[in-house]
Amino acid sequence: MTAAGDVVGGRYRLDRPIGSGGMATVWRAVDEDTGSVVAVKLMHPRVQDDPDLLARFRREADVVSRLDHPCIVRLLDQGAEDDDGPYIVFELVEGTNLKALIRQEGHLAPAEAASIASQVARGLELAHRSGIVHRDIKSHNILVTGSGVATLTDFGIARLLDGMQDGLTRTGTVLGTSDYLAPEQARGLGVDGRTDVYALGIVLYECLTGELPFPADTPMAVALRQVRDPMPDPRTVRPDVPAYLAAIVARACEKDPDARFTSALDMADALVDVPSGSTAALPVIPPEVAAADADTGRLSPAVMPEDAATGVIAPVADPGAFTAPVSAAVPTAAQPTAAEPVGADRDVVVATAARRRRWPAIVAGVLVLGAGATAAVLVTSGGSDVAIPGISSGDDGGGGGSGVGPLQLASVTDADPGGEGREMPGEVPLAYDGNDATSWRTEKYATPDFGGLKDGVGLALVLDTPSVARRLDLTSRGTGGAFEVIAGEPGPDARVVGRGSFRDGRQQVNLQDAPASATYTFWITDLPPNVDGGGYRAYVSEIGLEGTPP
């Protein structure tokens, strides 16, 4: 019988239990090698003889080890053999879980609810791109620090979408917690990232109202309501909930997965994009989360499973799909139940310290380009630079003039030197994905001059080889505003080689002769009216340079 004072793994001295569920107990412990306080998760002895549960417990460490984000629990250590059974060690700081926070407050302020949900969605985006579906998103599994950082925990029933299932998840098997169960999950059908989006929508509803949307006497009855009943409007419980948040709840919790947000990152963006004219308070994302989000970027709307033999990330058959194709499934008559009893509220908050790395090497996306173009594997390893080998920045035909043709881009980054250093970095790849229907966009501002906060924002186009750019190819949405093309970086001594204004569609801007440069900055100095209504915002659907390489 495990007790306070016991030492696990030869180094972790247990202090006190801080949470318990059907499969494991989490202990506050001290790492005697370093003196740091950690969280040790120990599997209950009574379930260690169940091979499926044992494999599921061990797999949690494998899943979490793939992920590195301020909004995902950080793995420190694990052990398969110990006198007390297998254990997992996480970094720990004091705090409370979201369920307890909601109970204490009754309901959360809309801005706080939006911030927490947006942070969790950012962590989920990384998990989904890594081929991982959490499958048990609920307020019990979200931990909130005093500084407002939300951390997602308990990947014990997460599903890997790379084929490495080890028989642990099968069609017709229902895993999850009924109060947050997506309809396809309740029916025992295949799941993907949109399943987590649904559950996060339930969590957002709970934050805003202090209630769950589908109360019933039994888990089975709750799950049936998830399948059959329309999602209620949180404003029927709390009339002061902003309309835009009520709309996000409704979209996230659509019964049809195809009608939900196409990605967790889309939901994250929507939560902090307060409409112009709204009286809603602006949600605040903690700086450490915002910094990680800048590194994350939006590589592709699809999760790309890794080929275990080659390590190459292969594109899914349908580039519009959100995740790898879900295996076909036949509706089952089996009644849905919760996978594990809901544990007591856990006053554990894990790791908001500096991260070991940003994107793991296995996390990558594939740009799906237009007809006749090539696809290149994109990998980010820090910053918001995205390498794009083998992709030219303009049309294959190039422009007129001897020796003038598309210039090869090495990377594209967002530029905001006068602000917080980032301008929608997650959407940067949409400016060169070969699809006019997708766009990198600026943040939304109250006035054309960026609210007087800065001189401009833009995109830095880094060339594979220093070259003389002769033309800018631009496809944009909206009309008006003004931009410059700078040979180099913006600043007091910037060398402006071209100017123009936004047009709704494609245009070419001729550039002045200048010495060769390795970097050209598309610099927006005056914003056009937002085409989606309210405020001012620029949209860049496609961008590239033509010119003369050395």
- For residue 121, what is the domain's CATH number? 1.10.510.10
pLDDT at position 211 over 80: yes
Say if residue 287 is in the same domain as residue 246. yes
Element (H, E) at 43: strand 37-43
Say if residue 257 is in the same domain as residue 119. yes
Say if residue 260 is in the same domain as residue 123. yes
pLDDT at position 320 over 70: no
Residues 6+ apart with CB under 8 A from 410: 387, 388, 462, 463, 464
Q: What is the mean pLDDT of the chain?
A: 76
Say if residue 75 is in the same domain as residue 191. no
Say if residue 125 is in the same domain as residue 203. yes
Looking at residue 16, which CATH number applies to its domain?
3.30.200.20
**What are the tokens at 340?**
């594990």
Say if residue 82 is in the same domain as residue 107. no
pLDDT of amino acid 519:
95
Say if residue 185 is in the same domain as residue 107. yes
On whether residue 161 sits in a domain, the answer given is: yes
**C-alpha angle 531-537-539 in degrees, rounded to nearest 5:** 75
SS3 readout for 478-511: CCEEEEEEEECCCCCCCEEEEEEEECCEEEEEEC
Which of residues 62 and 328 earns the better pLDDT score?
A: 62
pLDDT at position 368 over 70: no
Lowest mean pLDDT among 115-129, 143-157, 319-333, 528-542: 319-333
Looking at residue 448, which CATH number applies to its domain?
2.60.120.260
- Bridge partners (DSSP) of residue 397 are none
Domain boundary pick from 296, 324, 340: 296
pLDDT confidence band for 410 (50 / 70 / 90):
confident
pLDDT at position 330 over 60: no
Domain boundary pick from 296, 331, 358: 296
On whether residue 325 sits in a domain, the answer given is: no
| Residues composing the chain | 550
Single-letter code of the amino acid located at 8: V
Helices (H) and strands (E) in the chain, counts: 9, 22
On whether residue 476 sits in a domain, the answer given is: yes
**What are the tokens at 2?**
């495990």
On whether residue 64 sits in a domain, the answer given is: yes
pLDDT at position 474 over 80: yes
> What are the angstrom distances between the C-alpha of 278 and each of 92, 245, 268, 282, 321?
38, 11, 18, 10, 33
- Per-residue model confidence as pLDDT tens digits over 493-535: 899 999 999 999 999 999 998 899 999 999 999 999 999 888 8
pLDDT at position 309 over 50: no
- Residues annotated as catalytic (active site), given as ranges: 136
- Per-residue model confidence as pLDDT tens digits over 415-470: 999 887 788 887 888 898 888 988 999 988 889 999 888 899 999 999 988 999 99
On whether residue 318 sits in a domain, the answer given is: no
- What is the domain count for the chain? 3
Residues 6+ apart with CB under 8 A from 314: 304, 305, 307, 366
On whether residue 311 sits in a domain, the answer given is: no
Say if residue 116 is in the same domain as residue 265. yes
pLDDT confidence band for 170 (50 / 70 / 90):
very low
Q: Provide φ and ψ at 185, rounded to 5°.
A: -70, -40
Lowest mean pLDDT among 70-79, 134-143, 338-347, 529-538: 338-347
Domain containing 37: what range?
7-91
pLDDT of amino acid 159:
64
On whether residue 191 sits in a domain, the answer given is: yes
Range among 16-30, 200-214, 261-275, 303-317 with highest mean pLDDT value: 200-214
Say if residue 118 is in the same domain as residue 267. yes
pLDDT of amino acid 358:
26
Query: Percent helix, strand and coil across the chain, each rounded to 5?
Result: 25, 25, 50
pLDDT of amino acid 229:
95
User: Is-contact 456 540, C-beta < 8 A?
Assistant: no
pLDDT at position 203 over 90: yes
pLDDT at position 120 over 70: yes
> What are the angstrom distances between the C-alpha of 504 and each of 25, 429, 459, 474, 511?
58, 20, 19, 10, 20
pLDDT of amino acid 435:
87
- Per-residue model confidence as pLDDT tens digits over 90-114: 888 577 899 999 999 999 999 999 9
**What are the tokens at 140?**
């019990």
Say if residue 391 is in the same domain as residue 471. yes
Domain boundary pick from 279, 296, 313: 296
pLDDT of amino acid 115:
95
Tokens 């967002």: give the residue: 414
pLDDT of amino acid 293:
62
> What are the angstrom distances between the C-alpha of 413 and each of 123, 460, 489?
22, 5, 12
Say if residue 45 is in the same domain as residue 157. no
DSSP states along 110-169? HHHHHHHHHHHHHHHHHHHHTTEE-----GGGEEE-TT--EEE---TT-EESSS--TTS-
On whether residue 359 sits in a domain, the answer given is: no
- Rounded Cα–Cα distance for residues 340 and 24 (Å): 10
Say if residue 424 is in the same domain as residue 480. yes
